[in-house]
Amino acid sequence: GPGKTVVIQETPEELAAYAAEYYLECASSGIRERGRFSAAFSGGKTPVGFFNALAQNDNKTWLAKSRLFQVDERMVSADCADSNQRLIMESLVQPAGFPQNRFYPVPVHLEDAAKAAKAYQTRLHDVLCPAPPKANNLDFVLLGVGSDGHTASLFPEEVDDYPKDAWVHAARSDRHPHDRITLAMPFILAAEKILFLISGASKAEIVRNILCDQAPEAPASMVWKKARRAVMALDQSASGAYLDSI
Ligand code: 6PG
């Protein structure tokens, strides 16, 4: 539909480089037009190449006037190997020299995922809405897709039960480790731009199902269909089944 673009790059390295260029373009024009840029990044494995490419890029304009949030987090301490906050710190914030006081991690030190979600929502609100009529949505959201159709920590078995007016909420799935904190689907959908970054043959089937509208109950499909402006960036192995089907 309108506002949706599928981009296919040959290798995971080219995919990461493309994503970094796209992000830099969005950030530069956002800062030029609105004087600031607010992005939320997913964790997991796929974004690592993107984080590295961004950290190494000679274009440093995005470092100023940017704010960085998390799309989702696991309820683990920030020094745990499964922590998305740790990943973003180590592969992006530190190597890029991004100002640490403008990276807002989920407060995983709180008692449980529900409390962490509530506190993160307040934090997002305070940072994004200092005073009306300033924008209160994110400029950019980086998402991944799980082979079960989840995106962020929005899992297929839970998606109908989420609170309708939250920006952030707790989540969990028996198929995935750890209690989660995730941006809510309506808040993700309010973002100016959404980039799905998907790599590898294990994602080929879900990619085909999303693009051919054969997994309507998958949260990733819902976000893809309802987004105003979204790019799905794939490497060749993630795009194979889709290309075979058209
Ligand atoms: C996470 C995520 C999650 C991820 C997908 C894909 O914290 O795990 O944010 O939604 O994007 O599970 O993960 P991979 O990139 O590791 O395949």
User: 211: Cβ below 6 Å to ligand 1?
Assistant: no
Q: What class is the 4-245 domain?
A: alpha beta
Phi and psi (nearest 5°) for 46? Answer: -60, -40
- How many helices (H) and strands (E) in the chain? 9, 10
Q: In a structure prediction context, what are the per-residue pLDDT tens digits for the chain, which is 246 residues long?
A: 679 999 999 999 999 999 999 999 999 999 999 899 999 999 999 999 999 999 999 999 999 999 999 999 999 999 999 999 999 999 999 999 999 999 999 999 999 999 999 999 999 999 998 666 556 799 999 999 999 999 999 999 999 999 989 999 999 999 999 999 999 999 999 999 999 999 999 999 999 999 999 999 999 999 999 999 999 999 999 999 999 998
Report the alpha-carbon distance of residue 168 to residue 188 in Å, rounded. Answer: 10
Residue 160 DSSP label: G
Query: What's the sign of the alpha-carbon dihedral 133, 134, 139, 143?
Result: negative
CA gyration radius for the chain? 17
Q: Is the ipTM of this complex over 0.85?
A: yes
Per-residue pLDDT of 139-198, as tens digits, reads 999 999 999 999 999 999 999 999 989 999 999 999 999 999 999 999 999 999 999 999
46 ligand 1 Cβ < 6 A: yes
The pTM for the full model equals 0.97
Q: Which atom of ligand 1 is nearest to the CA of 74?
A: 7
Atom 12, ligand 1: which residue's CA is nearest?
Answer: 146
Beta strands 66-70 and 4-9 are unpaired
* Structure confidence at residue 204 (pLDDT): 98
Distances from the Cα of 78 to the Cα of 37, 74, 84, 134, 173, angstroms: 25, 9, 8, 32, 21
Q: What share of the chain is helix, strand, coil (3-state, %, to 5)?
A: 45, 20, 35
pLDDT given for residue 141 in this prediction:
98
Q: Which two tokens stand for residue 139?
A: 């400029």
Residue partners of 143: CB distance under 8 A and separation at least 6: 42, 71, 151, 152, 188, 194, 195, 196, 197, 220, 223
* Test site for ligand 1: of 48, 50, 82, 145, most ligand atoms within 8 A of the Cβ: 145
Strand 168-173 and strand 230-235: the pairing is unpaired
Beta carbons of 203 and 149 less than 8 angstroms apart:
no
Q: What is the pLDDT of residue 129?
A: 80
Q: What is the pLDDT of residue 130?
A: 66
86, 151, 158, 197: residue to mutate for ligand 1 pocket, most atoms within 8 A of CB: 151
pLDDT of residue 49: 98
Atom of ligand 1 nearest to the CA of 44: 16
